[in-house]
Structures are given as structure tokens and as C-alpha cells.
Structure 1
Amino acid sequence: MSDRVSLPEALIYVMVMVSASDSSMTDKELHSIGEVVKTLPVFSGFDTDDLVLVAQNCGTRLQAENGMSETLNVIAASVPESHRDTAYALAVEIAVADVRVRQEELRMLQMLRDALDLDKLTVAAIERSAQARYRPL
């Protein structure tokens, strides 16, 4: 497998990894991934018909020996510095999609932060923004 993928593919890998981190991809998470891919400008030009194939490719990578660390390496190599905050924001968006963020998702977010080499202020701002958007009544 390649050491790099396109930016849209890498961002989909990020979302799939967060969603699958707790061994269950909920309908809300899957819906959120689909909506993100359909609506965000970073995915303009990406054929949404390829979403399932890209997600399956991510799953195949994850199942390989050292799959998680290798997939994180592919993401880090494929996401330019200018879009690393975008990648983390999408990860957080999927983690909070079903309102309750599980321990496994928190661990995956930590691994993504490290792989993307994000600074603490950026991470805090993204996480705080998600908390504000998804706060229940």
C-alpha cells in the first residue's frame, strides 16, 4: 500500500479511525461522516460515490500488522500542515456525533494530536468549540 493518500482520503481515514475506535460505528457517526464529505469545501472535487471504498481501504490498512500506527503515519504524511487543524476538527466532530465520547475515542484523539503534531492551544480551541456546539439542554 502507498505511504500517502489524497487529502480527502486522509481526512476520511481520520473520521473512520475515530468512529471505529470503540469497535462500533454508530449510525450517527456514519451519517456525520457522509454529511461532512458532502458539505465541506475541503472535499470539493471528491466523488462521494468513493466514500465507501475509501473507508474500506482504511479498514484494510487498520487490520494489517501495525495497522493503527501505519495508518496514522499515512495520515501524517498526507495531511499538509495547513490542514492538520482541519483533520483534528473532523476527528472531534465524529467523536461527539453521538454526544457521548468514549474512552477509546479519547485515546484515538490523543494519538491523532500526536501524529499531527498539533499545539495545545489549537487542540483546546477545537475541543471547546465542539463542546459548545453539542451541549445538551
Structure 2
Amino acid sequence: MSQTLTHQEALIHVMVMMSAVDSAMSDEELERIGKLSRILPVFDDFDADDLVPVAQRCATLLSAPEGLDILLELVREALPPRLFETAYALAVDIAAVDLNIRTEELRLLALLRDRLGLDKLVCAAIERGAQARMRH
């Protein structure tokens, strides 16, 4: 791949991909991406001013031919294995923001799970945790 990402950029790319996969990036999803990138320990040394440029680069890559496949590979290459589950959890959190998981979002979660080699039971637990957190 001609581009490399930091692990924080890769995590942001995962969240942006999930937000964009249904062709409608909602304000709630964008707010959640911003909030997660400010509060989670994995982003402690990430410069918040870089969030918009990183998200824009992701959107540009995503719109290119084979963009989704390229982005998934960039993410896999950038993340240490200890952050694979974190990436999945962030994707689930973005998908769950509107409390309505769409087919495209489920497909991206499956692609991410497969690309990162995650256990289906671990993913089910992550998904269940997100459901519990998003309840009113």
C-alpha cells in the first residue's frame, strides 16, 4: 500500500467508514466520532485538530475504486492486534448511534470482523454491550 496510517488514524478511518457506508453521515454519528476521539485513552496523544483532515482523507479513499477494500487493508496493516477488538467496538458504536443498524452497516461489520480475524463470540459480546449502552 502506498499510504500508511497511525493506529489512531486507522481507528478514525473505521468510524468514518461505518458512518459513510450507508451514504448518509448523520450529525449524531459525526458527533460520536468526535467525542470518542476525545475521551478514549487510545486517542490520548492524538491531536484533535487532525480529526477533520483524517476523516476527509478517509472519505476520499472510500470514494475511489475498490476504496473499501483498500481502506480495510490499510486499517489491518496499521493496527496492532491488541487494537483489533477496539476497532470493531468503535465501528459498532457508530453503527448503533441511530439505534437502527442497516444492511450496509452489518455487511461492513462482517467485512471488518473477517479482515481482522476476530472471533464471532467476541464480536457478539461487543455488539451486545453496545446495545446495552445505547438504550434510553
TM-score of the two chains, using structure 1 as the length reference = 0.95
Partner of 1:108: 108
Percent sequence identity over matched residues?
A: 54
Q: 1:8-87 residue pairs with structure 2 within 5 A? A: 8-87=8-87
Q: Distance in 2 between matches of 1:109 and 1:48?
A: 26
Q: Distance in 1 between matches of 2:100 and 2:124?
A: 18
Q: Distance in 2 between matches of 1:120 and 1:109?
A: 11
Q: Structure 1: which 5+ residue stretches go unaligned?
A: none
Runs of 4+ in 1 over 3 A off after TM superposition: none
Q: Structure 2: which 5+ residue stretches go unaligned?
A: none
TM-score of the two chains, using structure 2 as the length reference = 0.96
1:78-137 superposed Cα distances (whole Å, 9 cap, x missing partner):
11110100000000000001111111111111111111110112101101111111234x
Aligned residues: 136
Cα-Cα RMSD: 1.1
Partner of 1:131: 131
